[in-house]
Amino acid sequence: MTKAKRKRLIYNLITFALVIAAFIILQSMIANKMISRSLKGQLVPICAWIVMAVSLNLVIGFSGELSLGHAGFMSVGAYTGAIISGWLLQVYEVQDTTLRLVLAMVAGGLIAGIAGVLIGIPVLRLRGDYLAIVTLAFGEIIRSLVNVLYVGVADGKLHFSFLNKNMPAGVSMLVDGAKGAVKIKPVATFTAGFVLILITLVVVLNLVNSRAGRAIQATRDNRIAAESMGVPVTKYKMMAFVTAAVLAGMAGALYGLNSSTVIPTQFTFNQSINVLVFVVLGGLGNVLGSVVSATLLTVLPEVLRAFADYRMLVYAIVLILVMVFTNNPTIRAFADRLFAPVKAIFRRSKKKTAGGDAQ
Amino acid sequence: MKKFFAMMLALAMLLTCVSAFADDDVVTLKIAHIGPTTGGAALYGQATRDGAAIAADEINALGGKYRVELINEDDEHNVEKAVNAYNAALDAGAQIILGTTTSKPCEAVGALAVNDRVFMLSPSASSEAAVEPDNVFQVCFTDPNQGAASAEYIAEHKLGTKVAIIYNNADVYSTGIRDTFVEKAAELGLEIVTQPITFTDETTDFTVLVAEAQNAGAEIVFLPIYYTPASQILTVAAAKEFKPIFFGVDGMDGILEIEGFDKSLAEGVMLLTPFVATAQDEKTVSFVTKYQEAYGIKPIQFAADAYDGIYIIVAAAEKAGITAEMVRKAEEEKDPSEICEALIAAMTEIEVEGLTGTMTWDESGKVTKTPMAATIVNGEYVFE
């Protein structure tokens, strides 16, 4: 037991060390102007996608439920963040961008968490495919709702309306229906993204390695056995689901406040699938894998710009090759021998991945 | 090394004195076209890319003072990708942006370009918010202008007074035009005879929507939508023997090119558009011929917009007196702000006669040109 604990500790330390090292390297590159505009512009979105991938991994990899509506929580966070940030600026004239960003992210996480609870109550009583379909529907519902949502500030008050744009005269719109959240003052920073990643890693890794985390994994491995041992399945699945929703909401707020505008069509089913690809490629139940794959797959299309119109084709081929090669026993055995000393540390997490794959 | 350059410069200046157009006098404008050349809106991005390429070739072949070097970046009609494309374009040395083709990406890129001080001319982004920054100008009408212009056209030509509008309420373009149309229609005494008839990107069955317009006795059905749903609406209307005047805007452009669509159904459809490929004036004929030779298809309005866009940028550069020195400085310091300010000032002073009409600009960045409507007759767009 102590040996397993030590391995886990080392695995977690490596995860943190890699993230912190990447941050320090990138920061020093920015300070020395050694970084291209292209990469610099992607830093905040990368942070947001990492948090999305890690949080979805909590639901899919650890609690074993296939959720296809994760982008829905992200859009809740993005819209909430945009509204809160605009409201703070226009009504209370909060000029401190860090304060606005932090409050927006907290609010984004909170509202997405509430959405997570509401959707979790009916959804988590379902199993397998049914759950996947309902979460998919949830993502679409959120998108349709924000499509007809109008929020504006007038006379120092927030005004909400649905379906029709009933706004008092002289209103300054924050969310304008299909036009999305408009005139956002971008306040997101790479440092904030980095802190959010650290928070996510601390939350997820601690949760997974706690008593509750073991219960969550037990419900994944064998629901009936877990139930018969007295584990309240719905409660623990809910815990994983809502935690993931809160983190996705915070990532959404960060992502939304990085741009001057957010539109509903940015958070479609495709986007949920995109995050799912990050998770599957990184390995179900492998947190470090999610971090790495989210980073690489966000940067990859940009690196492939040289291929012009064929780049998404190349991207797809790269995806297929990676999937095939990481699952090929010969290649895996070869890699195992090559990295035998390093692999020893990861062996535990690999077993987990294999368990996840079998589902 | 510096000495060497100084010598070269002196030599070059000497040569300039000798011949009027020596190489040093040539100013190469590095223009990046940003548009969706892949993904759902690829038709538009490819059209603007190809239209711009033809204009650039013409200008370079002419051998005047200004030359154009085009850089192409794809934005997939996606806000995040558009920002990436913009950054990649600047990394590649772009100093002026011809883009972006679609509205929302244009807003996102404009918000960055206004701080970086990079001049932007969008061929076809039509939302109001897209031109808000002072450095962004448009070649096409804004959505509100299209809505108001359509209402004016209908009232002026007395096409009818009972109007039904079928529009996509999940689309910025569609809702934007619809809103101003309704506003202007009330002013001009046009009557909207139905409740809002709306659909979304996922709608596949338009029977109920068309029936609603038919039952209300509409004489004109205004379709501020793209051509794919419009073609479905026309098909349904034909089946129901509902024959009002269908009036579309520039999104309707392309309806005759849809594979498998019975062109006779579009007979008599009117659309507000500044460009039709079958027009017989010299400029259009020359452009259409070159475009067809190079790409094998007829150009749509977006291609003409981008073609004009390149000429507008060159005209503005000429007016502003952009020098090779300015371009070189911008390249060395990676800061095109000087070029940007000069172009902004020049834009309000120029008048460009292009494929899409004679255009002038004010400080808002919006274009002024006369609205024109084409009618589909015998499977071709014809100007009245």
State the smallest CA–CA distance between residue A32 and chain B in angstroms.
16
Residues 6+ apart with CB under 8 A from B380: B256, B278
Looking at residue A23, its pLDDT comes to 94
The third-level CATH classification (topology) of the domain covering B144-273 is Rossmann fold (3.40.50)
Looking at residue A341, its pLDDT comes to 67
* Domain A2-357 class in CATH: mainly alpha
Q: Tell me, rounded to whole angstroms, the distance of Cα A88 from its chain centroid.
A: 25
Chain A residues with CB inside 8 Å of B90's CB?
Answer: 37
Q: What is the pLDDT of residues A119-166, one digit of tens each?
A: 998 888 887 788 888 889 988 898 889 888 999 988 888 888 887 777
| Measured CA distances, B292 to A31, B50, B277, B296 (Å) | 50, 11, 10, 5
Among A163, A173, A257, A259, which would you mutate to test the B interface (most chain B Cβ atoms within 10 Å of its Cβ)?
A259
Longest C-alpha distance within chain A, in Å?
Answer: 71
| Cα–Cα nearest to B110, from B120, B98, B95 | B120
Instruction: Tell whether the model's pLDDT for residue B41 goes beyond 60.
Output: yes
Q: What is the pLDDT of residues A155-197, one digit of tens each?
A: 888 888 887 777 777 788 889 888 888 888 889 999 999 999 9
Contact between A45 and B80 using a beta-carbon 8 Å cutoff:
yes
State the smallest CA–CA distance between residue B145 and chain A in angstroms.
17
**Separation between Cα atoms, residue A288 and residue A298, nearest integer Å:** 16
Q: What is the pLDDT of residues A34-54, one digit of tens each?
A: 888 889 999 999 999 999 999
Contact between A263 and B38 using a beta-carbon 8 Å cutoff:
no
- The single-letter code of the amino acid at B203 is T
Out of B79, B87, B127, the one facing A38 most closely (by C-beta) is B87
**Cβ neighbours of B339 (radius 10 Å):** 24
Task: State the distance between the two ends of chain A, measured CA to CA, in whole angstroms.
Answer: 26
State the smallest CA–CA distance between residue A140 and chain B in angstroms.
11
Instruction: Tell whether the model's pLDDT for residue A348 goes beyond 70.
Output: no
**Separation between Cα atoms, residue A105 and residue A255, nearest integer Å:** 10
Structure tokens at B38: 């892949």
**Separation between Cα atoms, residue A226 and residue A115, nearest integer Å:** 27
**Cβ neighbours of B3 (radius 10 Å):** 7
User: DSSP of B276-341, one letter per residue?
Assistant: -TT--SHHHHHHHHHHHHHHSS---HHHHHHHHHHHHHHHHHHHHT--HHHHHHHHHHT-THHHHH
Instruction: Tell whether the model's pLDDT for residue B215 goes beyond 50.
Output: yes
Out of B38, B72, B108, the one facing A259 most closely (by C-beta) is B108
**Separation between Cα atoms, residue A216 and residue B247, nearest integer Å:** 59
Contact between B38 and A312 using a beta-carbon 8 Å cutoff:
yes
**Cβ neighbours of A308 (radius 10 Å):** 12
How much helix, strand and coil, in percent to the nearest 5, is found in chain A? 75, 5, 20
Chain A residues with CB inside 8 Å of B100's CB?
Answer: none
| Measured CA distances, A5 to A350, B122, B306, B374, B382 (Å) | 15, 59, 63, 75, 78
Among B78, B172, B174, which would you mutate to test the A interface (most chain A Cβ atoms within 10 Å of its Cβ)?
B172
Instruction: Tell whether the model's pLDDT for residue B132 goes beyond 70.
Output: yes
Out of B88, B129, B170, the one facing A178 most closely (by C-beta) is B170
**Cβ neighbours of B245 (radius 10 Å):** 17
What is the mean pLDDT of the segment spanning B101-121? 92
Provide the residue count of chain A.
359
In chain B, domain spans: 14-141+283-368, 144-273
| Measured CA distances, A282 to A38, A42, A61, B141 (Å) | 24, 20, 10, 47
pLDDT-based confidence at residue B167 (cuts at 50, 70, 90): very high
Chain B residues with CB inside 8 Å of A302's CB?
Answer: 84, 88
Interface predicted TM-score of the whole assembly (ipTM), two decimals: 0.83
**Cβ neighbours of A218 (radius 10 Å):** 17
Chain B residues with CB inside 8 Å of A36's CB?
Answer: 87, 91
Write down the mean pLDDT value for chain B. 87
| Cα–Cα nearest to B320, from B66, B43, B75, B18 | B66
What is the mean pLDDT of the segment spanning B278-292? 90
Provide the residue count of chain B.
384
State the smallest CA–CA distance between residue B72 and chain A in angstroms.
8
Contact between B74 and A305 using a beta-carbon 8 Å cutoff:
yes
Among B80, B201, B226, B295, which would you mutate to test the A interface (most chain A Cβ atoms within 10 Å of its Cβ)?
B80
In chain A, domain spans: 2-357
What is the mean pLDDT of the segment spanning B251-280? 84
DSSP summary character for residue A169: T
Structure tokens at B216: 């209300």
| Cα–Cα nearest to A153, from A84, A202, A63 | A84
Given the candidates 3.30.300.130, 3.30.1510.10, 3.40.50.2300, 3.40.50.1580, the CATH classification of the domain at B14-141+283-368 is 3.40.50.2300
Out of A261, A305, A311, the one facing B108 most closely (by C-beta) is A261
Residues 6+ apart with CB under 8 A from B230: B223, B246, B248, B251, B252, B255
Tokens 């979105």 sit on residue: A45
Chain A residues with CB inside 8 Å of B170's CB?
Answer: 147, 178, 264-265
- With CA atoms as reference, the chain B residue closest to A36 would be B91
The dihedrals phi and psi of B284, each to the nearest 5 degrees, come to -65, -45
Q: Who wins on pLDDT, A164 or A353?
A: A164
Q: How many contacts (CB atoms, under 8 Å) link A and B?
A: 81
Instruction: Tell whether the model's pLDDT for residue B246 goes beyond 90.
Output: yes
State the smallest CA–CA distance between residue A148 and chain B in angstroms.
8
Contact between B111 and A186 using a beta-carbon 8 Å cutoff:
yes
What three-state secondary structure class fits A73?
A: helix
What is the mean pLDDT of the segment spanning B236-249? 91
Identify residues of B whose CB sits under 8 angstroms from chain A CBs.
37-38, 72-74, 78-81, 83-84, 86-88, 90-91, 104, 107-108, 110-112, 127, 129, 169-172, 175-176, 200
What three-state secondary structure class fits A25?
A: helix
Out of A266, A308, A311, the one facing B79 most closely (by C-beta) is A266
Angle between helices B301-320 and B282-295 (to 10 degrees): 110
Out of B80, B88, B175, the one facing A305 most closely (by C-beta) is B88
Instruction: Tell whether the model's pLDDT for residue A105 goes beyond 90.
Output: yes
**Separation between Cα atoms, residue A77 and residue B363, nearest integer Å:** 36
Contact present, B139 and B359 (Cβ < 8 Å): yes
Looking at residue B18, its pLDDT comes to 44
Is B144-273 in the same CATH topology as B14-141+283-368?
yes
Cis-peptide, bond into residue B100, ω within 30° of zero: yes
**Separation between Cα atoms, residue B157 and residue B159, nearest integer Å:** 6
**Separation between Cα atoms, residue B257 and residue B231, nearest integer Å:** 11
Q: Who wins on pLDDT, B334 or B68?
A: B68
Looking at residue A358, its pLDDT comes to 40
Identify residues of A whose CB sits under 8 angstroms from chain B CBs.
36-38, 40-42, 45, 144, 147-148, 177-180, 182-183, 186, 259-266, 301-302, 305, 308-309, 311-312
Structure tokens at B299: 């150009």
Among A38, A147, A257, A312, which would you mutate to test the B interface (most chain B Cβ atoms within 10 Å of its Cβ)?
A38
| Cα–Cα nearest to A81, from A266, A275, A249, A268 | A249
What three-state secondary structure class fits B99?
A: strand
Torsion of CA B161, B380, B243, B194, to 10 degrees: -50
Contact between B172 and A178 using a beta-carbon 8 Å cutoff:
yes
Tokens 């310091």 sit on residue: B333
Task: State the distance between the two ends of chain B, measured CA to CA, in whole angstroms.
Answer: 64
Out of B37, B104, B111, the one facing A309 most closely (by C-beta) is B37
Contact between A38 and B80 using a beta-carbon 8 Å cutoff:
no
Q: What is the pLDDT of residues B317-344, one digit of tens each?
A: 999 999 998 999 898 888 899 999 999 9
- With CA atoms as reference, the chain B residue closest to A165 would be B179
Q: β-strand B351-354 against B270-272: which pairing, if any? A: unpaired
**How wide is the angle at C-alpha B50 spanned by C-alphas B38 and A266, nearest 5°?**
25
**Separation between Cα atoms, residue A195 and residue A98, nearest integer Å:** 12
